[in-house]
Structures are given as C-alpha cells and as structure tokens.
C-alpha cells in the first residue's frame, strides 16, 4: 500500500458502534484536515481496509458482531499491506489488563475515553506522520 | 343531508353543534383541546381537509373521518399540529443538560453505558438535532457513553421532514456560522441539509402522548424534552400525558418542559429540580406507595 508517497490528506477509518461517537471523531479530524471514513463494527472495518487504502484505523473495543480485539487480530494476521496499518485503540476500558491486551493484539497506541478533540488530533498526527 | 353548496368556504356552513362534535373527536384522538375561541383555527383546517377529500358537506367529511378512509385521521392530525421551531430554541435547557443533568445521570452509569434522550414532540427535527449538536459541541464526555436520541411526534408529515433534515435560514438563525458549516451542507433553493451521520444518529418514530398503548413502547429514558405541547391540552389530557411520561422515564430521570409550562400544576408525580440554568422536573429515585 503506502510507499514513500505521502497522500495530500491522510485517510483515517473510525470504527465505533455509536453513531454520535463516530460523528464526534469524524468532525474533529475533518476540521484538522484528515479524510475520514467510518465503520460500525470490526466486520465492516475489515471490509473497508481490504478494499481501500488507509493511513490509520481508530478502533473501539466493545462493539457488536466483531469487537475491536478480534478486528485487530484479524488485521495483524492478514495480507502484508493491511497487517502493518497503524491502529489507535480508544475505549472506555481503562484497566491495565485491557491496555495490555490491546498491545498484545497489535494496537500501536491506546487512549481511554473521553478523548478531547485536541488530544485526538495530536495522536492521529503522530500516528499518520501528518503535520497540522 | 347533502346540500352541495360548492364554493371554497365549506366551514362557514358548519353549525356550532357540528364544531363541538368535531372538536370532541380531535380531543379524543390527540388530547388537543379546542374551544369556540379557536373557531378560526379549526375552520381553516376543516376547510382545507374538506377540500382535499372532496367532501361537499360536514356530514360527508365527518363520516369519512370516523371510518378513517384513506388515513384521514392522520391527515387531519398533521394539519392541526404546529411545526414552527428552530435550532437551539430555549438553549438554557441545553446548557442545563450539559452543565448539570448529564453529570447527575452518568454518575450512576459505567463508562460506555447508554444514555437515552427523548424529544417529544420533535416536530420537524430541530430539537433532537439540536440536542445532538449541543452534546458534540459542549459535552466533554460525549464519546464516553452510548448516547441514544429518539425524536417522536404525532405528525407523520413532520417526521418525514425531520428524517430529510432540510432547513431554511430561519431555523438555523441561532447557530453559529462555524456550526452550520461543519454540520450542514448547502443545497438548492437556499436550504441546508444536516449531515447524514447526524440524521442517522437519531431515531424518528410516531407517538401519541396521550395514548398509553403507544407510550408503552417508550421506556428507560434518562432525559425527556417535552416542550410547548402540553399548553395545547386540557387538564385531563395534560395529566394523562404527564403520567405516561413518568412511566417512560428511568427513576431519577429528568423532564424539561416549555418555558410557560409547569409540571407542578399538572401532576404531583415529579419533583422540582432547580439548577443554575433551568428548572426541570425529576422522577424520584424511589416510588412512594
């Protein structure tokens, strides 16, 4: 997927079952210049990352049908071009065990909700290499 | 019986007794109470519906109404509801929601838990969308809970408009330019359509406040906005609506009424809660007796 060419706008996939949460992240990231797509669970997210290129996936933990951990495990065991996609996990789960599990399944970073707009944008910039 | 007089002003041939029968029918169906003083309001709508159905006399129209031919009851109710509103109307209550009410509500919930908010009547959608916008712009916990917003109305025409989410300048006058540019896109004719994600985040349903059967489907709300509708009801319907709303709330849940409405004068079921931005009503945590 991504070679050395930097896209004009980094593409971020937001995966969360709550429509308002998706909208909140999307609005914050679009305002900062990112291109944002959405998925409502791990299954839909998997379909999206396999069909179009992304620079980052932001993924919730608790979702119906396919949760964030299962999604990450599938992602990391997939084809090489998606297996290396950076993943930011954002969840209400704040236990050390949850964070450890996220790392084990391949999350690059873990944030505990609520996440303020500036904090979200800062982490997305770091993980995509984008500058504001 | 049929005195086909023609002309456009059917309602002028309606007797006071017929108006009374008609008003009783509307009252039984909607809880809205109209007296002789609202005769002009009633005549206008009655005239419109008689013309729309091709009824040449009141009797003809009334029998059509009673048999609900071609969903005439729904059409009539739609013509009687008032759908004039705008975004961020009475925003002190939205301020109260994010400054006080939600903190009290989520205090009892785990992060990730569900917060249910109901806008009834939601008219053409300005109120439920305002709630969603306000939360995204002003509540720092917005991503920490699963927020469900339901908008309900008795008027199906208004609900269709709410789902479409298309508004003119007047409806948006209280929103900042920044909020409009972020959540609306301009469309033809000088109108704006609200963001698709926002439209999908609200569930629009038909509900009649005074129909206990209808209201049974709505339970476990943490917060209800029921503004400027009880003023159209008489005392008995108001009390019935209040009892229905009580059942729809979680124990400890809150209800916001319109600025000229007071629950204390309607029902003793609720407790008055005074916050810096607004006075709201609360279903007590534990029911007595």
Q: Is the CB of B117 inside 8 Å of chain A's CB atoms?
A: no
Complex ipTM value: 0.86
Q: Residue A75: what pLDDT?
A: 95
Q: What are the tens digits of pLDDT across the range B168-193?
A: 988 998 899 999 999 999 999 999 99
The answer to which of A116-125, B35-44, B135-144 has the lowest mean pLDDT is: B35-44
Query: What burial class does residue B104 get, using C-beta atoms within 10 Å of its C-beta: 0-12 exposed, 13-18 middle, 19+ buried?
Result: middle
Do B76 and B97 have their domain in common? no
Question: How many whole angstroms separate alpha carbon B126 and alpha carbon B161?
Answer: 10
CB–CB of A18 and B135 under 8 A? Answer: no
**Residue B140 placed within a domain:** yes
Separation in Å, CA of A91 to nearest CA in chain B: 8
Chain B nearest CA to A72, separation (Å): 20
Q: Answer yes or no: do B142 and B262 share one domain.
A: yes
- Indicate whether B39 and B133 sit together in one domain: no
Same domain assignment for residues B65 and B156? no
Q: Is residue B5 part of a domain?
A: no
CB contact under 8 A, B112 and A113: yes
Nearest CA in chain A to B129: A20
Q: Which of B185, B203, B206, B249 shows the shortest CA–CA distance to A20?
A: B203
Instruction: Say whether both B15 and B140 belong to one domain.
Output: no
Residues B69 and B104 in one domain: no
- Asked whether residue B222 is domain-assigned, the answer is yes
Chain B residues closer than 8 Å to A91 by CB: 112
Torsion of CA A115, A119, A124, A127, to 10 degrees: -110
Q: Do B111 and A113 touch (CB under 8 A)?
A: yes
Cβ distance of A20 and B142 shorter than 8 Å? yes
Choose the final residue of a domain: B33, B58, B80. B80
Whether residue B124 sits in one domain with residue B100: yes
**Same domain assignment for residues B75 and B215:** no
> Closest Cα of chain B to A92: distance in Å?
6
Tell me which of A23, A68, A90, A91 to substitute to probe the interface with B (most B C-beta atoms closer than 10 Å).
A23
Report the DSSP pairing between strands B192-194 and B166-167: antiparallel
* In contact, B88 and B94? CB cutoff 8 Å: yes
CATH of the domain at B209: 3.40.50.150
Determine the average pLDDT of the residues in B8-35: 77
B73 and B114 co-located in one domain: no
- Tell whether B255 is covered by a domain: yes
CB proximity B250 to A under 8 Å: no
Average pLDDT over residues A23-35: 95
Same domain membership, residue B207 and residue B73: no
In a domain, B184, yes or no: no
Mean pLDDT of the A77-98 span: 91
Does B179 fall in a domain?
no
Q: What are the structure tokens assigned to B8, written together?
A: 């456009």
Q: Which DSSP letter does residue A6 get?
A: P
Give the Å distances, CA to CA, from B170 to A60, B92, B126, B222: 38, 20, 11, 30
B142 inside 8 A of chain A by CB: yes
Chain A residue numbers with beta carbons less than 8 Å from the beta carbon of B198 are 23
Over residues B65-98, the pLDDT tens digits come to 989 888 888 888 878 776 678 999 999 999 999 9
- Closest chain B C-alpha to A4 CA, distance in angstroms: 32
Q: Which domain holds residue B37?
A: 10-80
**B246 and B160 share a domain?**
yes
The full DSSP string for B261-288 is --GGGT-TTSEEEE-SS-EEEE--SS--
Number of domains in chain B: 2
Residue A65 class from Cβ within 10 Å (0-12 exposed, 13-18 middle, 19+ buried)?
exposed
B1 belongs to a structural domain: no
- 8 Å CB contact between A63 and A92: no
* B15 — pLDDT class (breaks 50, 70, 90): confident
pLDDT tens per residue across span B221-268: 999 999 989 988 889 999 999 999 999 999 999 999 988 889 988 999
Are A114 and B146 in contact (CB < 8 Å)? no
Q: Is the peptide bond before B151 cis (omega within 30 degrees of 0)?
A: no
> Which of B121, B109, B14, B118 lies closest to B61, judged by CA?
B14
Instruction: Locate A29 and state its tokens.
Output: 């990231």
B276 found inside a domain = yes
- CA B268 to chain CA mean position, Å: 22
Closest by CA position to A115, among listed B134, B139, B181 = B139
CATH number at residue B76: 1.10.155
- In chain B, which residues have their Cβ closer than 8 Å to the Cβ of A23? 132, 136, 195, 197-198, 201
- Whether residues B259 and B117 fall in one domain: yes
Binary contact (B198, A26; C-beta < 8 A)? no
Euclidean distance between CA atoms B275 and B184, whole angstroms: 32
Superfamily of domain A11-128 in CATH is: Response regulator (3.40.50.2300)
């Amino acid at each position: 997927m991504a070679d050395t060419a930097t896209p004009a706008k980094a593409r971020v996939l937001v995966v969360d079952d709550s429509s308002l949460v998706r909208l909140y992240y999307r609005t914050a990231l679009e305002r900062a210049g990112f291109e944002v797509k959405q998925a409502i669970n791990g299954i839909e997210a998997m379909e999206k990352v396999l069909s179009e290129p992304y620079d980052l996936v932001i993924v919730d933990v608790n979702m119906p049908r396919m949760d964030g951990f299962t999604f990450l495990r599938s992602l990391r065991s997939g084809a090489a071009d998606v297996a290396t996609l950076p993943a930011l996990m954002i969840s209400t789960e704040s236990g050390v065990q949850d964070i450890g599990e996220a790392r084990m399944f391949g999350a690059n970073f873990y944030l505990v909700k609520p996440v303020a707009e500036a904090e979200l944008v800062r982490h997305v910039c770091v993980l995509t290499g984008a500058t504001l | 019986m049929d005195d086909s007089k023609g002309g456009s002003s059917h309602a002028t041939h309606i007797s006071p007794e017929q108006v009374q029968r008609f008003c009783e029918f509307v009252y039984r169906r909607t809880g809205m109470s109209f007296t002789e003083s609202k005769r002009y309001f009633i005549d206008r709508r009655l005239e419109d519906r008689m013309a729309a159905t091709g009824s040449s006399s009141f009797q003809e129209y009334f029998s059509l109404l009673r048999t609900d031919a071609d969903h005439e009851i729904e059409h009539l109710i739609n013509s009687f509801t008032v759908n004039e509103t705008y975004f961020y109307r009475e925003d002190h209550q939205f301020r109260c929601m994010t400054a006080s009410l939600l903190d009290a509500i989520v205090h009892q919930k785990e992060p990730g838990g569900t917060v249910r908010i109901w806008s009834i009547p939601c008219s053409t959608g300005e109120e439920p969308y305002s709630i969603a916008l306000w939360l995204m712009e002003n509540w720092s916990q917005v991503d920490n809970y699963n927020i469900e917003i339901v908008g309900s109305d008795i008027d199906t025409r208004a609900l269709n408009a709410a789902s479409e989410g298309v508004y003119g300048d007047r409806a948006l006058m209280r929103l900042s330019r920044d909020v409009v540019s972020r959540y609306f896109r301009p469309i033809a004719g000088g109108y704006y359509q609200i963001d698709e994600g926002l439209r999908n985040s609200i569930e629009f349903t038909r509900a009649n406040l005074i129909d206990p059967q209808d209201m049974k489907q709505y339970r476990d709300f943490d917060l209800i906005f029921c503004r400027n509708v009880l003023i159209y009801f008489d005392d008995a319907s108001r009390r019935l609506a209040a009892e229905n709303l009580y059942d729809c709330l979680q124990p400890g849940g809150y209800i916001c009424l319109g600025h000229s409405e007071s629950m204390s004068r309607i029902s003793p079921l609720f407790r008055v809660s005074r916050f810096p931005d607004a006075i709201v009503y609360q279903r007590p945590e534990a029911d007595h007796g």
